[in-house]
Amino acid sequence: MKTYLLKRLLSAIPVLFIVSTIVFLILQMTPGDPALVILGQEATLEEVEDLRQQLKLDRPIYEQYFNWLFNALRGDLGESYFMNDSVLEAILSHLGPTISLGILAEIIAIALAIPLGILAARRKGTLTDQSVMTFSLLGMSIPNFLLSLFLILVFSVFWRLLPVAGYKPLGAGLWEHLKYLLLPAFALGTAHAALIARMTRSAMLEVLNANYIKTARAKGVKEKWVIYKHALRNAFLPILTVIGQSFLGLMGGTAIVETIFAIPGIGQLIVNGVMRRDYAIVQGAVLYVTFAFVFINLAVDMLYGIVNPQVRLDNKK
Amino acid sequence: MTISSESIDLHAVKSALKKEQNKILWRQIMTNGSLFVGFVIIAFLILVALFGPLLMKHDPNTMDVLKRFAAPSADHWFGTDNLGRDVLARVIYGTRISMGIGVAVAIIASMSGLIVGIYSSYYKWLDHLLMRLSDGIMAFPGLLLALALMAALGGQASNVVIAVSIVATPYIARVVRSEALALKEQTFVEATRALGASDSRIIWQHIAPNTLSSLIVQATFIFAEAIIVEAALSFLGAGIPPPAPSWGNILSDGKTYIYKAWWMTFFPGMTITLAIIGLNLFGDGLRDLLDPHVSKAKK
């Protein structure tokens, strides 16, 4: 188990290295001088040059890159030019909203998808099955930023039930917190719900035809028990994989959904960073997202063993 | 008994065979529900993109301050926007821009994905390099990468095509690579090699044509993805610069005035949804038609 964990963590290193190099190169290609952007157009040439030296922007590109890389390895992601804060602090202060949004979106996705997928599998070929599949196609087809706008139109503009944008932390009360997160979480969760529902349906269809299910039914086990205890548990592995993979899509989605709903999360931090050429923030946040993605995939792999003891990693022969 | 070439007209047999094949293909298209519906939707949108602007009585960029925020009516089917511009005219012109970007990305990403995928399947040392690079590109969200690329390249339609193609290429390359890896081991490839064919002849004449069906299916999904990413980029202000009526730009204006004029969001939003549904249905249907193994496994 320990060897496996170590191997997985080591395999993440080249990916993180490539990601950081790509992001660094792209940002270097970006026209415009950050020093000039910070000081404004009225700054004198001397002031700009001073700031460039202070920020070490006058050094060669490779030197800037290796400086950043070595500092990053020590946990120092640099300072944000615009936020007057360290990048790590900025990321940590924007993490709460994104985690809340991500968890709520995933809960909505799973709560919608698994029962619907099971229903579709049990009634394969009927109108219910076709309706679930049509809804899942719709869910996958509507981009999340568009769904966000449609949800705002219906729930905020026409019915005025939920706020159009904004964010309240958990400290302001659970309902206040959820009120602002429901629409964005629903917008983010729907596409994943569609994907998970499809996977649940096909995984359940495969399992429901297995002999042990027939045996359970023949023994007179209650249908509910057959579905949830016997079938779902075995069908859960591929479903879990899709849930894990959907995380990357979720992170991509948060960038635009957080911008639409004015939620001060990591997604908005990256979008704003790109727009105002805040190199350090973009590099740090993208590295963080990639790191989180690698860890979540690892956590999903660990969960396999809990869901299905047959695939426990340390039992591998 | 020998058959002389005069007794059978080979040309006629060939054309009859071709006709029969076309008939079968057409029947398959007509009986494959999602392929047919998807095809109808895409054909409709392509016709709108090509001929719609010629039939419009309103110009997409002409402002009319007296008619600002006019609700949908007989004169303005989709209403007017904050500057009094006709939303229908803008959506129709937007179809040309957004579909054009989708087609361009699908073609460029397919070509570069084919080259990357096929060469990495053939040369191991190249495989390590290219696949690690594509791992890197695929390890962070496509929209964010496209956004960063747009910041570097500058807001222009051609740059949107370049940025989205870079993001999409690894996804095509992966599909082509896995297909080509299997093909490489087939006996017909071994036979060609034994006959002394060069690497590039094996790659381009024997392996590449056999990866085309998966490539075309994947390209349809990339087409849909390109439309979404372009709309998202323009919506965030990093795509095609306004006032060009790309679907993302129209939506971006719509979001600002969402309380005042729902039609500015609703109609362009529904058009994008229609395009994506059409492309997804077409891609699904095409996969069933071209790759029956996958569709059987799915069912």
pLDDT tens-digit map of B121-148: 888 888 888 888 888 888 777 888 888 8
Across the interface, whether the CB atoms of B144 and A270 are under 8 A apart is answered yes
User: Which residues of chain B neighbour A164 with C-beta distances below 8 Å?
Assistant: 258-259
Quote the mean pLDDT of chain B.
86
Instruction: Judge whether B267 and B208 are in contact, CB under 8 Å.
Output: no
User: Which residues of chain A neighbour B136 with C-beta distances below 8 Å?
Assistant: 15, 18-19, 21-22
Helix, strand or coil for residue A317?
Answer: coil
CA B258 to chain centre: 30
CA distance B44 to A177: 44
CA distance A95 to B287: 40
Q: Does A21 touch chain B (CB under 8 A)?
A: yes
Specify the pTM: 0.84
CA distance A215 to A229: 14
Q: Compare all CA atoms of chain A with the CA of B224 and give the residue at the minimum distance.
A: A141
Sequence ranges of the domains in chain B? 1-31, 33-298
Q: Per mean pLDDT, which range of A24-33, A106-115, B75-84, B259-268 is the poorest?
A: A24-33
Domain B33-298 fold is MetI-like fold (1.10.3720)
What is the predicted pLDDT for the residue at A1?
A: 66
For chain A, 317 residues long, give each residue's pLDDT as a single digit of tens: 677 778 777 877 787 888 888 878 887 777 777 777 777 777 788 888 888 887 777 888 888 888 888 888 887 888 887 777 888 899 999 999 998 999 999 999 999 999 999 999 998 888 999 899 888 888 888 888 889 999 998 999 889 899 988 899 888 888 989 999 999 999 999 888 988 998 899 889 888 888 888 898 899 888 888 888 888 888 888 888 788 777 767 777 888 899 999 999 998 998 888 877 787 888 888 888 877 877 777 787 777 777 766 665 554 44
Crossing angle between the packed helical segments A279-307 and A87-122, to the nearest 10 degrees: 40
Across the interface, whether the CB atoms of A22 and B136 are under 8 A apart is answered yes
What is the predicted pLDDT for the residue at B130?
A: 87
CA-based nearest residue to B86, from B103, B100, B97, B71: B71
User: Which residues of chain B neighbour A29 with C-beta distances below 8 Å?
Assistant: 152-153
Helix, strand or coil for residue B236?
Answer: helix
Q: Express each pLDDT in A113-160 by its tens digit.
A: 999 999 999 988 889 998 998 888 888 888 888 899 999 989 998 898
Residue B47 reports pLDDT greater than 90: yes
What is the predicted pLDDT for the residue at A237?
A: 80
Across the interface, whether the CB atoms of A137 and B238 are under 8 A apart is answered no
CA distance A97 to A165: 13
Q: Express each pLDDT in B144-165 by its tens digit.
A: 888 888 888 888 889 999 999 9
Q: Does A60 touch chain B (CB under 8 A)?
A: no
Task: Provide the residue type at A252 as one letter.
Answer: G
What is the predicted pLDDT for the residue at B291?
A: 65
Among the partner-chain residues B137, B224, B269, the one whose CB lies closest to the CB of A150 is B269
Cα-Cα end-to-end distance for chain A? 12
Q: What is the DSSP letter of A228?
A: I
Q: How confident is the model at residue B3 (pLDDT cuts 50, 70, 90)?
A: low
ipTM computed for the complex:
0.80
Helices (H), chain A: 2-29, 34-39, 45-54, 61-73, 87-122, 127-141, 144-151, 174-208, 211-218, 223-225, 232-260, 266-275, 279-307
